[in-house]
Structure 1
Amino acid sequence: MRRIVFSCACVIFGFAASFGAVTPKKKPAAVTRKAPVKKRVVARRSAVIPAAVRATANDSVAQWLNVPGTMENPAAMIPFFEQLYRLEGRETNEVLRVFHYGDSHTAADEWSGTLRYLLQARFGDGGNGYSHAGQPWRGYRRLDLKSWNSRGWYSDGLAGREGDGLYGLAGVSLSTERAGEMVNLQTEATRAEFQYLRQPGGGRVEVSDNGTVLEIVDTDGAGMPMAQKLALGEGPHFLTARTLDRRPVRLHGWVTENLRGLTWEMMGINGAQASVGLKWEDAGLAPVYRDHAPGLIVLAYGTNEARNRDWTFESYRDMFIALLDKYRRLAPAASILVIGPPDHQIRTRTGWAPHEKIDVILEAQRAACAARGAAFWDIRDRMGGKGAMRQWVYAGMAQGDYVHFTGPGYRLLGAALYKELMGQFSTFARVRRETMEPKTAVFAAPITYGQTNTNP
């Protein structure tokens, strides 16, 4: 069923780049207004790309994506590849988790969803993993589940809303002080966890599955993140968390998994810069990382930083090194893969031109990865290099803002990264078999006088 949902979603949904808070609106005071004057709205037409130009652009995109071996420092992926190897060989019956942090490119869940689909098809479906509580901003979605909430919640942790940093694994939480507010999750899994913040004076939350109450969770206590394990039966699940009191409640999210396989857990935030991760308290993240240790952490930032004039090469490199150090502390056994920002362009007086500061961000990320032993994948180079976004727009693989991709474009990037990962994994698996597994006898014939009898 989830595969069907994924396939349908890939066709139906495009990229949703807008976001906003899920907050209750006050009823405006009654005022006397004049009848509005209707204005004629003229729809803005997109530029028509000639068929020949589109065909040429498609050929260019396909050629660039087929370039092999572009990952830098692939040796940093060995810990993750070892776990993949054991999972594929059925040497382990555990869940191998991938945490994918990033900005709006990640939050679309098109390329992360493509990677999830392809990797789970090969290594087993480990479930959804972590997902946000409800819908913390308009446009939030996961292609492998359905999540929504009532109107009386406030989103913490979004761009411009940084506070105490206790926002859970993905850096965003939902808060309310009203009774009867709900968050819902519809998915399939064999086990689940409800994550929230315990705080002084916190209210109670009723957690149910398919209409049956599972737990009454009291969130009152010393401030710290907590998790309530939930016993699930077989089949699809409709999980609901409903507040029971007019007291403060802050929810982080859900963890829904199967007993074995791989998860690719999307944790993108629209408008995010990499530095947001440094604002999340280690004390709030450490328990989650301990109980749900990832095998791979993916960091995909840079687009928003390129438009921030405050970043220099040195300041961004140093910040990114601190970010890598943070994730090393949280998950010392995990591999870290940094994905550089894609090409994007800005409008000038003479037309569209490549954003020059992408060069600075890319080189700063590359230097940080070299300093801390992380793998690096230059997605701009894979796209075709500086200025390649124009061809992606012409091919219908990127949007007219020359920043974001279309659904097919994101899925192409996801497939390209999957191909890169599996290429590197194949090399690792071959070397591992040659060097670590016991050698088999060259001949099966009997031994005669200390010599191998090669005669039939």
Structure 2
Amino acid sequence: MLKFFKYIIAALAVTITVGCSVAESKTTTTVSGVIDFGDPNTKQFVTRLKSIASNKNKGQVVNITQFGDSHTAADFFTGEFRTLMQEKYGNAGIGWVTPVSIKGQNHTAVNWKFKNWDVLSSRTLTNQDFPMGGFIAKPTKDQATIQIIPSTLNNKDWQVKLTFKTLKNSTDSIKLYDVNNKLISFNYNPKTNIWQTSSVTSKLPLVITSKNDVELGGIWLTRNHQSGVVVSAIATNGAKQNIWQKWSPSWFKELASSQSDLVILEYGTNESFDETLDFNEYRKNLVSNIRQIRKSLPKAAILLISPPDTMANEKQAPKSFAQIKNIQKQVAKSEKTLFWDWQAAMGGKYSIKSWRQKGLARPDLVHQTLQGYKESARIFYADLNEFVKKNK
């Protein structure tokens, strides 16, 4: 098994693992890799990455935005992927983060200290005007505060973009203070009950103070005039792909402003446990979301990630797992996107059991451990860079 890990880290596309079937244990050979079903923006994405790697275009940033469920919300997979990509291509920042910390979720690159805020989630609510990401931080009283603290501090400038909504016609509902407690000039138009995004340049940590007539959405943190890669993780525990339908239709404007070069969709695990799922509706919704991304980001490549290997119990996979994965692959073909088979990358069907034996998967046979998600990220990183290397 040690050779297996060295094999992956060496960035080879073929993985050989021990897979456990229902009847018996047997050795399974699987091939993982990023498959291109004709994405029209693959060449541009590859070219931009190669340009950064060769330092031909200083100041250039490649933005990668991953949407997903709990596998993404933990930021263990995306956190390791972010680290590896930034080691190779340069660190251009943290990317999108929730306005405050969310219970049960995590971000490896940032911490929050906050006071007098409630969190509304599109996972449990349907009657709110949610921005991209599906979270709203709402002050419980005047003088609500948030301090955003990067895990690694430096003395460089950051560009901070806030998505917010003012509930009254006021221009002083939000105030920002830098690391020296100096008030930062933050100008915005008081567009009542409309989500908007404004940006400032400041060193971090940053303090946001707000009256109770404001709602906060996501916050973007990028290094000012720094070339490299940004990997954003936008996810919710327990989410299905249709969570997007709970967000305000205007959220695609925020996606467009992200200038993402690659959008990754990592959903499907929760759908695979849904025995009442309408497969035709699921397919229709997935196609619609991909087309909305194309409309918002006409120059971005799109990559679908299948669910990782998952089991409902010790003997079988979730009832809808195979069908969900098949639909995702069929849609990737019909909509001409990229595709990465996470299950195959782990070793194939029932490989989650051998991952659990090695301490890489949790007892629920659904989620991975910290080291497991990091290992998955290393495989994905290796496969993506192999794909970039082979494309001209």
TM-score by length of 2: 0.85
1:132 aligned partner: 98
**1:73 CA drift (Å):** 2.1
Pairs within 5 Å for 1:278-293: 278-286=245-253, 288-293=254-259
Task: Report whether the alignment pairs 1:166 with 2:130.
Answer: yes
Residue 16 (structure 2) aligned to one of 37, 58, 63: 63
Contact 2:158 2:201 (C-alpha < 8 Å) held by counterparts: yes
Q: 1:104 to 1:69 in 2, by over 3 A?
A: closer
For the residue of structure 1 that corresponds to 2:353, the secondary structure is: helix
Match of 1:206 among 175, 183, 193: 175
Determine whether 1:254 maps to 2:224: no
Which of 117, 130, 142 is the equivalent residue of 1:153? 117
Call closer, same or farther: CA 1:55–1:420 in 2, change over 3 Å. Answer: closer
Deviations 1:96-120 (A, max 9, x none): 1000110000111111011111111
Q: In structure 2, what is the equivalent of residue 329 of structure 1?
A: 295
| 2:23 aligned residue | none
Structure-2 separation of matches of 1:153 and 1:283: 24
1:18-33 correspondence to structure 2 within 5 Å: none
Higher RCO structure, 1 or 2 (CA under 8 Å, sep 6+):
2
Q: CA deviation at 1:355?
A: 1.6
Contact 1:118 1:418 in 2 (8 A): yes
Unaligned runs of 5+ in 1: 1-53, 433-456
State the 1:217 CA deviation.
6.0
Q: 1:191 to 1:307 in 2, by over 3 A?
A: same
RMSD, aligned α-carbons: 2.6
Structure 2 stretches lacking a partner, 5+ long? 9-14, 19-28
Query: 1:216 Cα deviation (Å)?
Result: 5.6
- In the other structure, the counterpart of 1:88 is 53
Shift of 1:385: 1.8
Greater shift in the superposed pair: 333-342 or 173-182 = 173-182
Partner residue, 1:410: 373
Change (3 A) 1:91 1:290: farther
Change (3 A) 1:421 1:156: same
* 1:165/1:281 contact within 8 Å kept: yes
Q: Using a 3 Å threshold, how does the CA distance of structure 1 residues 133 and 219 change in structure 2: closer, same or farther?
A: farther
Q: Distance in 1 between matches of 2:388 and 2:2?
A: 33
The 8 Å contact of residues 197 and 223 in structure 1, kept in 2 or not, is answered as no
Alpha-carbon displacement from aligned partner over 1:43-64 (angstroms, at most 9, x marks no partner): xxxxxxxxxxx99998999724
- Per the normalisation by structure 1, the TM-score is 0.74
Query: Given the alignment of the two structures, is residue 427 of structure 1 paired with residue 385 of structure 2, yes or no?
Result: no
Deviation at 1:386, TM superposition (A): 2.0
What amino acid maps onto 2:46 in structure 1? F
Equivalent position to 1:399, from 362, 370, 375: 362
1:230 aligns with 2:200: yes
* Separation (CA, whole Å) in 1 of partners of 2:389 and 2:4: 31
User: Aligned pair 1:195/2:162, yes or no?
Assistant: yes
**Distance across 1 between alignment mates of 2:97 and 2:247:** 17
Greater Rg by CA? 1
Shift in Å, 1:364: 1.1
Q: Deviations over 1:18-68 (max 9, x none)?
A: xxxxxxxxxxxxxxxxxxxxxxxxxxxxxxxxxxxx999989997249955
Query: Deviation at 1:139?
Result: 3.0
SS at match of 2:205: strand
What are the within-5 Å matches in structure 2 for residues 266-415 of structure 1? Answer: 266-286=233-253, 288-347=254-313, 351-415=314-378
Matched, 1:98 2:64: yes
2:85 matched to which residue of 1?
119
The one-letter code sitting in structure 2 at the alignment partner of 1:162 is T
Question: Deviation at 1:376?
Answer: 1.1
Single out whichever of 409-418 and 83-92 deviates more from structure 2.
Answer: 83-92
Residues 202 and 173 (structure 1), Cα distance of their counterparts in 2 relative to 1, 3 Å cut: farther
Distance (Å, rounded) in 1 between the aligned partners of 2:235 and 2:264: 11
Rounded to whole Å, the distance in 1 between the matches of 2:177 and 2:53 is: 35
SS of the counterpart of 2:250? helix
Cα 1:292–1:88, aligned 2, differ >3 Å: closer, same or farther?
Answer: same
Q: What displacement does 1:427 show?
A: 0.5
**What secondary structure is seen at the aligned counterpart in 1 of 2:264?**
strand
Q: Secondary structure at the match of 1:154?
A: strand
SS at match of 1:63: strand
- CA offset digits 1:365-389 (Å, max 9, x no partner): 1111111111111111221222221
CA offsets per residue over residues 254-313 of structure 1, 9 Å max, x none?
A: 222122111011112111111112332342331x33433100001000111112233233
Residue 179 (1) aligns with residue 135 (2): no
Secondary structure of the residue aligned to 2:316 is strand
Measured in 2, the distance between the counterparts of 1:294 and 1:180 equals 34
Q: Does structure 1 conserve the Cα–Cα contact (< 8 Å) formed by 2:4 and 2:17?
A: no
Deviations 1:171-221 (A, max 9, x none): 322112511211221125522224133334166122111122214667743
How far, CA to CA, are the matches of 1:157 and 1:88 in structure 2?
Answer: 38
Please, which moves more after superposition, 267-276 or 65-74? 65-74
Number of aligned residue pairs: give it: 364
